[in-house]
Amino acid sequence: MKKNTTIVFLLFVAVCFSQTTVQSKLTILKGTQVSVLDNFKITTTANVVNDGELMLKANIINNGIVSYSPASTSSKVHFLGDDNQEIGGANPLFLYNVVFNNNGSTLSAPLQIDNDADFTKGIVNNRDHGGTLFFNELSDHLNTSDESFVDGTVLRTGSLDFTLPVGTQNTYRPISLEGLSATNSFSSTYFLENSNIEYPHDKKTDLIEFIDTNEYWALERTEGNDFAIIELTRNVATSSAEIMNADVNNIHIARWDADRNFWVDEGGVADATNGSIKTITNVSGYGIYALATIYADKVLPGNVVVYNNLTPNGDGINDEFIIVGIEEHPDNVVEIFNRWGAPVSEIKGYNNKEKVFRGFANVGLTLNNSEVLPSGTYYYVLTYTVDGESVRKIDYLYINGK
């Protein structure tokens, strides 16, 4: 039989001045439901082990230990406050299942969720409050919507596909990760602001036409080595009119490259089922992300894009001849010719990594292949296969190396 009072715990709990204070060990057994109507304070000497259900109607301040038994799968905490609930204290809360069904929460302490977070109702706000909401390896969330999400920063550790439930101002604006090969840790925050203020939109690659001026996402990898496939969505309430009115096939995901100090294109393909935009392959880095439109005439079959400006001077900007998406078509050849039609380089299986043109000749008898080619206009011939059909692109390549 479920119990809805705290009477059985009087040996461990002191109630005074509209506050329930735990001073030693409090265990809530499986199958037991405990309701706390007033503020719930856990002192530095206290240890709350919840294997049942803990119903909180007011604030919780944890300065001790709040967790559950290692083998427990029944532990659940409900946040049910009619007013904004504070989740605070000096120490983290380790919870298994969580239900947010209130009029909002202010999170100023670390909160780790190890299984499911049910966002039935109520926005969890940790923006500028110092708290963190952390999803562990096997945790997930459900029922996220404009009525319930995290306004602030979400942390995640794991290797499984995951949607970070972020947003702000009553709008849910998630960012999703997929395609990880190992466990990595991430941190993400959504901003309903113009990124141009801190990350100038005039500093961008030639392919990008317009970068959303209304919103952006911060995504950082705090541990690990993997790069993920990123997925974002448009939203009529938050996205720029230019993004909402664009042909969905011309919308890509742009990333601010802090090392090179400009926006780069991470590609994009539309999901017809939900209208989301995801990168074609794993991104090349982390940082600031936004939706952007591209010049459609610069995209080749198979979502291949050629960046034909090369400045191999070692400054980290345009030091390599980048062909975005070519690694998805490994049956390829890139040939470089000088202005007189003489071959200076040939690379098979071009992949933008170890097989990439950096301005040095590797064919031809009259060129010194230990030095960067002289500055000037060259020509490239790109040949690759898409769905069994051969694609051939010939265009200029300007090298400015010395």
pLDDT tens-digit profile of 21-68? 999 999 999 999 999 999 999 999 999 999 999 999 999 999 999 999
Instruction: Specify the long-range contacts of residues 125-129, CB closer than 8 Å, at least 24 apart.
Output: 125/150, 125/151, 125/152, 126/150, 126/151, 126/152, 126/153, 127/151, 127/152, 127/153, 127/168, 127/189, 128/152
- Determine the pLDDT at residue 70: 94
- Determine the pLDDT at residue 402: 57
- Determine the pLDDT at residue 274: 77
| Mean confidence (pLDDT) of the chain | 90
- Determine the pLDDT at residue 116: 98
Dist. CA 175–CA 244, nearest whole Å: 18
CB contact at 8 A, 132 and 108: no
- Determine the pLDDT at residue 382: 95
- Determine the pLDDT at residue 182: 95
Structure token digits, residue 258 = 């802090």
The arithmetic mean of pLDDT across residues 124-142, rounded, is 96
Dist. CA 289–CA 302, nearest whole Å: 23
Task: Please give the share of the chain, as a percent, with pLDDT higher than 70.
Answer: 93
Is residue 247 pLDDT above 70, yes or no? yes
- Determine the pLDDT at residue 4: 42
Dist. CA 95–CA 45, nearest whole Å: 19
Is residue 155 pLDDT above 90, yes or no? yes
**What confidence tier does 215 reach under pLDDT thresholds 50, 70, 90?**
very high
Helix, strand, or coil here: 8?
Answer: helix
- Determine the pLDDT at residue 386: 93
- Determine the pLDDT at residue 91: 98
**What confidence tier does 316 reach under pLDDT thresholds 50, 70, 90?**
low
Residue of higher predicted confidence among 310 and 45: 45
The beta-strand segments (E) located in 183-257 are 184-191, 208-211, 216-223, 229-232, 251-257
Q: What is the pTM of this model?
A: 0.80
- Determine the pLDDT at residue 368: 60
CB contact at 8 A, 207 and 321: no
Tell me 288's DSSP state: E
Instruction: Using CA atoms of 325, 326, 330, 336 in order, give the dihedral in degrees to the nearest 10.
Output: -170
Is residue 8 pLDDT above 80, yes or no? no
Residue of higher predicted confidence among 230 and 9: 230
pLDDT in tens, 370-401: 788 988 889 999 999 999 999 999 888 988 86
CA atoms within 13 A on the CB side of 106: 13
**What confidence tier does 318 reach under pLDDT thresholds 50, 70, 90?**
confident
Tell me 213's DSSP state: S
- Determine the pLDDT at residue 369: 65
The arithmetic mean of pLDDT across residues 348-367, rounded, is 86
pLDDT in tens, 66-80: 999 999 999 999 999
The arithmetic mean of pLDDT across residues 302-317, rounded, is 80
Is residue 3 pLDDT above 70, yes or no? no
- Determine the pLDDT at residue 317: 67
